[in-house]
Amino acid sequence: MLFAGDVERARERAAILRRYGVDAYPALAGEGITPEAQERVSRFGILTLLDGAALSRKLGT
């Protein structure tokens, strides 16, 4: 299950890698997602896989 904190952690880790010159984007994978996490995924355009299927394909920050 993906939670809002997972979304924020993915965003933070991608930001750290970008500061070091890595072309990084946040991504998540899990078996389910909470409504709050889903809202953040949509807002920030985070690549998300649920049960192996893409939920969001737009790459953002």
- Residue 58: pLDDT over 70: no
Q: In which band, very low, low, confident or very high, does the pLDDT at 53 lie, cut at 50, 70 and 90?
A: confident
CA distance 54 to 13: 21
CA distance 31 to 12: 22
- Residue 51: pLDDT over 60: yes
pLDDT digits (tens, 9 = 90+) for 4-50: 999 999 999 999 999 999 999 999 999 999 999 999 999 999 999 99
